Structures are given as C-alpha cells and as structure tokens.
Structure 1
C-alpha cells in the first residue's frame, strides 16, 4: 500500500447538509462509480453523507430464510431497505448517522485489508479529538453489536461505528457508519427485530445476535453535539491533510450514471 494515503489535493464530497429525497442505493452506486474513476487515475475522494431513514442489509443477511418478508415489513414501515455490495451486516440509518467512504487507488492490486481499515480508524479518531482523547476510541469487535467486525470502534465497551470494505481491481472503498446522535440502543433494537423476523425463529448460523447494552451514540459516549458538528470536524481534518471540497459535478460522476448503477446493484444483490 502507498506510504501516504492522502495525496496532495484529494477530493472531499460532503452531502451531509443536503437532504433531498434520494434512493438509499444512490450513495453506494456513487461509491462504485467513483471507485472505478479513481482506479482509472482520478483523484482519491472521501464521501460524507446521511439518509433520513433506511435499513442497509448485508449479503449474508439477505440469505436468511425470512429475509424478504422482514425487508418488506421495513419498507411498509417507511424505511427504505437495500442490500449493499460491500461487506458487513444490517445497519439502520437516519439523520443522526454520518456515513464515510474513503476511495483510494490500488494500482498494484495489493491486498492489505487491515492497513486499509486503519486509514478509516485514524480518520475517525482524529475527527473526535475535540470531544475525546484518541486513546479513548478502541478498535476490535464488540460482542452483541449490530454489524460486528474486527474494526468496530467503541468507547467504554459500547460500539458507535462499523467499518466495511469494497475492493475493485485498481481501487478500493472503505466505508463506515458513525452513530452520532440520539440513542444507539434504539437503533440496536431495530436491527434485533429485523434479525428476529429474518431468521424465522431458527438458529441460522452467521447472523449477529444483537444484545442490549452493546451500542451507543457519540452524543451519549462523548458529548458530540450533533451529526453536523461531527461532519464539520471530519472536513477540517481532511482539509488539513490537503483535501479539497468539491461538488457532485466536479466529482465527475453524473446522476444518470448513478441511477443506472443503482438499478444494476439492486438487480445483482437484492435477490
């Protein structure tokens, strides 16, 4: 992996403050297309976004016996529900959750999964510096949390962030959800209800057993006042690393391309 993952003048696309109605697959399709562009030589980019209400389901979750019924129930309750093309398991999203994608080149197709995750870990730690010491943020799987993984981020044993990855031939995306506002426990309860229904009362292997007391928000854990405040801190950290704020047009991926990719991803993964 390259020595400096933050080359001069990399791009920052921040859509956290713009909340038009959009398909929850849109940011994942955008990441897919941006990753292709970065692999072809475009500047690396960091994408920040939020969504007003969705459940993003993992590929293994979709294979649970009653997954389709559970996803339909969520949609009827007003939550957009999709299967993403990166790793990880089910994650509830709302405006109190900030999502980050770091899209970097990998010209030699090196496989350094752990090092790639650490780039995201350090970015989040630095972004939390106004509210907590970097050493207070631990990485490592939190038992009982939703979307568990080796690079769960937690404070005091309660998880606030999960990290996943999507790799292409010449570039890769590291994605994170960061629970900033309100109750982490309420979101965990939503994920638990999804699994209770999707598993159909069976002991199907491979799905997270979400338990009370495992999740919390940064508001609860560190006094972070809002999703906007956290996103602002991320931007400042990235700009200090020579990042340049861009808009959708400058980022070079058209909305028509994203709509077409969204359709393709649904056809490929949501079945």
Structure 2
C-alpha cells in the first residue's frame, strides 16, 4: 500500500517520436522520486518501435539492423532496464512503477510478485486467470513472464538507481502473439548474422495478446482496469501533469544513448 501514488498515462507516442524519450522521462522521474517525489505509476504506448536489451545490442549485426529499421519508420532504442527485444505497437502497453529506495533495502522478487498480482487483478473483469513463470521460447524471457494457457502476454524487468528504482512491464493486448514473435525473431536472425551467438530463440506458439487469450477488447480497456487496480493500492492518488521538462528529457536521451547504444 502506498501512502501517495501519482498516475501518469502518456498520450500514444507516434512513429515520428523517439521511443527512448519514454525511458528518459522515467529515468528523470526516478531520480526525483529518490529525492522525495511521490511514487509514480506510468502507462505509455508507442505506435511502431523495437526496444532491445543491452545484450541484444552486442550482437554483431545489431547496429546495421537497427539503422535499417529506423529507415523503415520503426523507431528503436536500447532499454536501460533489464530484458531483451520487444516489439511495440498501439496494442502493447508499457507500465512502470517508480518507487523510492532511500534506505537502499529492497526485495526485487517481492516487487516483481506485486506487479504480477496487479496485472492479474486487472484481468478479473474478463474472468481470466494468469500465471507467472518463464515461458520457454517466448521473447524477452524471464522468471516473471505472465501467461495464460501457456502463452506469454507480459514480461517484467527492473531498473535501480541510487535512491529509487522501477519495476517495468510490457503487456500485449490487441496484437497476435505469433505476429510479434515473428518480428522479434526477424531481428535476432538478422542481428546474429547466422553466427553461433547467445540470444533468445523465439518460437511460434509461445506469445499471445489479451484479446485472443482472454477476450480483452482493447488496450484502453485493460489500461483503465489496471489504473483502477493502482488506485486501490494508495491512500491518496493524483493524476496530474508531469513536471519533468522537455530539456531534462532531451539531455537524458543523449546520456542514455551514449551509455547504452554503442558499438
């Protein structure tokens, strides 16, 4: 339970917008939370992007593949939090909980479990039961994959700063899982260039969207349900405008790109 929680739902980011800006915004806000800003729940989507992990960026052909994606209008970035490649569309929700850690004592596993419980509770209007546990062959694999009937629709990662941290998740709602899996597999096949490299082996039949798995009608419907779940976790809730400036975001975009997106 939070004493206070601020909820931000960002407008849909268009293909023309740099997807890294969403992560930069959260990075700036995470620092503010470490300095006394209330905890934050942030929900956002991007029209057409591929977000990869740091290990993905180290694949031999990654740089060239990302450049070709950008030339095709698919925005790309290297995510500062953990995890691997994820395809973003308007039907994929990104959600982050940004929380203070002034005492530097956290239990990431417990926080992962809490995020799973929020995602599960938001499915109750559709009477769907989701489970946590790695789904072999899914993209962005992890111990806290969230699935229905053995097909993953959500992955969870974390990011720690000095006095704050965030738990972040992607949630597939409207898209067909096999279609997204094929796009992510295409990235890995091209970036690895046929070399024997360690990267996720994405398989068909492992991913799904909540529309096909649980009858959730839209990303907006699930976001509204998830926001209601978050509202119940706090004594005081506010949904206000962000006080993060555009200049702060631009500076952080440059810093994150220099730090993580390099050969």
TM range (shorter): over 0.9
Partner of 1:22: 17
Partner of 2:210: 218
1:151-185 residue CA offsets vs partner (Å, 9 max, x unmatched)? 00000000000111000111101110000002111
1:27-85 residue CA offsets vs partner (Å, 9 max, x unmatched)? 10011111111111110000000000000010000001111111122112211011111
Partner of 2:92: 97
Q: Give the SS at the match of 2:201.
A: coil
Please point out which of 186, 205, 229 is paired with 2:179.
Answer: 186
Partner of 1:253: 244
Alignment of 1:59-98 (within 5 A): 59-98=54-93
Aligned-pair CA distance for 1:88: 0.3
Please point out which of 148, 151, 158 is paired with 1:155.
Answer: 148
Please point out which of 34, 39, 42 is paired with 1:39.
Answer: 34
Distance 2:52 2:151 in 1: 21
Please point out which of 165, 175, 182 is paired with 1:172.
Answer: 165
Q: Does 1:270 align with 2:261?
A: yes
Please point out which of 46, 66, 69 is paired with 1:51.
Answer: 46
Task: Check conservation: 1:14, 1:245, Cα contact below 8 A.
Answer: no
Aligned-pair CA distance for 1:9: 2.5
Q: Give the SS at the match of 1:48.
A: strand
Distance 1:144 1:70 in 2: 22
- The number of residue pairs the alignment matches comes to 260
Task: Check conservation: 2:12, 2:46, Cα contact below 8 A.
Answer: no
Q: Give the SS at the match of 2:222.
A: helix
Distance 1:71 1:245 in 2: 38
